[in-house]
Structure 1
Amino acid sequence: MSARRALVAPLLALVTLLAACSSGSGEPLPDGKEVLTKSAATMAEVKSTHFVIKVDGSLPQLGVQGAEGDLNASGDAKGKAKTDQFGQLLEVDFVLAKGDLYIKGPTGGFQKLPGVLKSQVYDPTAILDPKRGVAEVLRSAKDVKTESVDDKTNVVSGTVPKDVAASLVPGITSDVKARFTMDKASLRLQTARFELDGGAVEITLSELDKLVEVAPPA
């Protein structure tokens, strides 16, 4: 056997071993569908969160171009949202308390609007709704694959049906590729990134189950 063949054979064996294992852990990657199912059950029990909605690229069909705030599972929320109004990006403060929506633009104070109009800004209450929020998104993902595992996180990708994804990302009209990052120990969702034509939307959750109290503006 030539010296070259003697070198290539063990290298191929090493590459095969690494491909079958997680990054440096020496263990097979966990089943992605099982990870998402467990994560969905965990997220269905979360009572509050801080959220950040980030839009990358040009996605005018979404209406909302970014948002950040706090919400609880009772449907109360407060924060800021960037919306596209007639081609202009407008940042507004919003408070959703006891079913009523309050909006404050660049000038003036808060205005009370019917809660049914919240979808025209952004409806953050969907995020923690077990039947239409992140828990349902995780449960509904198809063609699931574990991308990577390290000491702190699991990363799993899949395809989310359009009707489910639209609850979190208004304007979606087709099934969407998504990537989920979860805390390895608790399997609580940290980020969900949806890839769309023209850009992407990323939802980041933090401070889960921290007390969030929302009152109507004075």
Structure 2
Amino acid sequence: MSWIRGRIPTVVLACALALTGCSGGSGGDSQGSLPQGPQTLQQASNSMRDLKSVAFTISTEGDPVSFPVKSGEVRLLRNGDAEGRLHVQVGMSMETEFVLLGDVLYYKGLTGGYEKASKEQLRSLYDPSAVLDPERGIAKLLTAARGAQPEAREKVGGKDAYRVKVTLPKQEIEGLIPGVDEDLQGQVWISADDHRLLKVRGELPPSGGKGAVVITFTEFNADYRFKAPI
């Protein structure tokens, strides 16, 4: 099971941050009636800065071979604790469920039962607590994004949102998404009501296989309580 401890735990944690990816949609208002891009991103950063928890889904477009998570659902607390389900491709396709509590990661191996790995072993590769850290995670990424251009007003999960085209700088995403070694082009969707980040889409570099990673945020500040499965 050494390959699982070397790859699956990293994939599990990487998705909890991946905080970069989402899908587009049909156009809405003209650019003339949309708010300014930089102002919208700043409002979103402020709105995401004090979150205590978040839930999100992951999906991919095309065949981004450099990103082994094909789909998943994750619930995350500000301290880094998390639980969820992932469909991963690491030489073979498999579904895995996981719970991360403190320094211990519980994950379902090939036998179907839960196994354990140490978060400390993975800290140099990825730290899930960075996702909701205002100085390292989502809030920081939103203010660091360059070239913000408002594109449309659309619905995301039934909510009105502004779609903004952005460049996501390597420096702000490399600690959150392992394997990304250059800026990413993409879009972010910001709620028109409370300015929260609802969706992100990041196009992966051609060297990693043509495609994009999509992340859709579904819950904010829910009272999650995770328990060890074994």
State if a TM-score over 0.5 links the two structures. Answer: yes
Equivalents in 1 of 2:57, 2:127: separation in Å? 13
How far is the alpha carbon of 1:82 from its aligned partner?
2.5
- Among 209, 213, 216, the alignment partner of 2:225 is 213
Aligned amino acid, residue 87 of structure 2: K
Cα offsets for 1:17-44 (capped at 9, x unmatched): xxxxx7279x632110011011011101
Show CA shifts across 1:20-70 (max 9, x none). xx7279x63211001101101110111111111111121222233332121
Q: Which residue of structure 1 aligns with residue 9 of structure 2?
A: none
> In the aligned structure 2, how far is the partner of 1:41 from the partner of 1:130?
9
Name the SS for the 1:62 alignment partner: coil
How do residues 149-164 of structure 1 correspond to structure 2 at under 5 angstroms? 149=153, 152-164=160-172
Question: Whole-Å Cα distance in 1 between the matches of residues 169 and 34 of structure 2?
Answer: 25
- Give the counterpart of 1:132 among 133, 136, 151: 136
Of residues 202, 207, 216, the one that matches 2:214 is: 202
- Where does residue 181 of structure 1 map in the other structure? 189
Matched to 1:205, the amino acid is F
1:76-91 maps to which residues of 2 (within 5 A)? 76-85=81-90, 87-91=91-95
CA displacement at 1:190 relative to structure 2? 0.6
AA paired with 1:173? D
Give the Cα–Cα distance (whole angstroms) in 1 for the partners of residues 29 and 95 of structure 2. Answer: 41
Question: Which piece of structure 1 moves more, 112-121 or 178-187?
Answer: 112-121
2:63 corresponds in structure 1 to 58
- Preserved contact between residue 126 and residue 176 of structure 2 (Cα < 8 Å): no
Measured in 1, the distance between the counterparts of 2:43 and 2:128 equals 23
Change beyond 3 A, Cα 1:104–1:120: farther
CA RMSD between the two structures: 2.5
| Structure 1: 5+ residue stretches without partners | 1-21
Which residue is 2:146 aligned to?
142
Give the whole-Å Cα distance in 2 for the aligned partners of 1:35 and 1:100: 37
In structure 1, C-alpha distance between the alignment counterparts of 2:142 and 2:164, rounded to whole Å: 10
CA apart distance, 1:215: 1.8
Report deviation, 1:125. 4.0
**Structure 1 residue 131: Cα displacement:** 2.3
Q: What count of residue pairs does the alignment treat as equivalent? A: 195
Q: 1:23 aligns with which of 15, 29, 47?
A: 29
* Structure 1 Cα separation of the partners of residues 30 and 150 of structure 2: 15
2:120 to 111, 116, 126: 116
The corresponding residue for 1:73 is: 78
Q: Distance in 2 between matches of 1:93 and 1:68?
A: 10
> What letter corresponds to residue 183 of structure 2 in structure 1?
D
Q: TM-score, normalised by structure 1?
A: 0.80
Q: 2: CA distance between counterparts of 1:71 and 1:118?
A: 17
| 8 Å CA contact 1:46, 1:208 repeated in 2 | yes
d(CA) in 1 for partners of 2:162, 2:124: 34
The residue type paired with residue 73 of structure 2 is E
Bigger radius of gyration among the two:
1
Report the residue type matching 2:89 in the other structure.
D
Structure 2 unpaired stretches of 5+: 1-27
Equivalents in 2 of 1:117, 1:55: separation in Å? 27
